[in-house]
Amino acid sequence: MPPEVQTFFDHATNTATYLVNDAVTRTAAIVDPVLDFEPKGAKLSTASADAILAAVRNQGLRLAYVLETHAHADHLSAADYIRRETGAKIVIGAKITEVQKMFIPLFEADDVLDDGRVFDHLLAEGDTLALGDLAISVLHTPGHTPACLTYLIGDAAFVGDTLFMPDYGTARADFPGGDAAMLYRSIRKIMTLPPETRVFVGHDYLPAGRDRFQWETTVAEEKARNVHAHDGVSEADFVEMRQARDATLAPPTLILPSLQVNIRGGALPKPAASGRVFLRLPVTFA
């Protein structure tokens, strides 16, 4: 029996969070939950995560995992909050240690180690976890970041930021550790899955000509219609397109708050002596 998938779309960050469960055992996982952050006032809220947890309770689900597709640069993760509320284990790609090694020095984050221990399960290509009677299997799909994973659960693939809806295209590859050629190969790996595989993307940004947010497509649709990476696009052409496009993109609004929280598994930095929590903004000169 295929997994049941419910989507919770965060309009502030254009992020799709998924609640996926095994219909037989009622065992569930949450994919890429959002911790609400209003940057102008530096105000945090757990409203988005609480709405998902309410659905978990109301449907009688047992939450086993929080599945992070990568260390996000566009939203703060609610993974640690959900773990503290439910006991669910946080799962991420084993290459997260490379991401931590890049960003811990940037933020002088001396309260976190770069060995991934703030997460509960570090997974690599071919690893599996049980979700009731279903299996969560893993594809390592780097390129957007070194640690990106695609989670396969039954007929559903949760691809994070590697692929978007066919009319929007693909993820950027210009963050530290990103690589456009590697992203192309990861996309081709996803496209070798059965054509009927449901593909659940990490974001949607309403390209020209569409006025309704979407987050579910199929491997067949991606192969046929993805504007950046449909069948027939060569690696060289993709890399040229991706590098030219990335050069025009501004950093995500929440990149600095997000990364310093997300390398901690969604936890906030250790409070200062006053008890207040501070996020750092490393200043660079143009």
pLDDT surpassing 90 at residue 31: yes
In a domain, residue 268? The reply is no
In a domain, residue 235? The reply is yes
Residue type, 279: L
* Residues linked to residue 12 through DSSP beta bridges, in sequence order: none
In a domain, residue 274? The reply is no
Average pLDDT over residues 2-27: 98
CA distance 77 to 82: 10
CATH code, domain carrying 221: 3.60.15.10
In a domain, residue 277? The reply is no
Task: State pLDDT tens for residues 55-109.
Answer: 999 999 999 999 999 999 999 999 999 999 999 999 999 999 999 999 999 999 9
- For the chain, state the CA radius of gyration: 18
CA distance 131 to 151: 12
Task: State pLDDT tens for residues 116-158.
Answer: 999 999 999 999 999 999 999 999 999 999 999 999 999 999 9
pTM: 0.97
In a domain, residue 266? The reply is no
Angle at 100 between CA 96 and CA 105, to 5 degrees: 170
CA distance 4 to 137: 16
* CB 94 within 8 Å of CB 122: yes
Helices 180-190 and 235-246 cross at an angle (nearest 10°) of: 120
By C-alpha distance, which of 66, 62, 64, 113 is closest to 90?
66
In a domain, residue 270? The reply is no
Token pair belonging to 270? 């250790």
In a domain, residue 46? The reply is yes
CA distance 286 to 226: 36
Pairing of β 76-77 and β 89-93? unpaired
Domain count, the chain: 1
Contacts 24+ apart (CB under 8 A), 248-253: 249/172, 249/174, 251/73, 252/73, 252/74, 253/39, 253/74
The DSSP secondary structure of 42-54, one letter per residue, reads TEEE-HHHHHHHH
Task: State pLDDT tens for residues 210-241.
Answer: 999 999 999 999 999 999 999 999 999 999 99
Q: Which domain holds residue 31?
A: 4-261
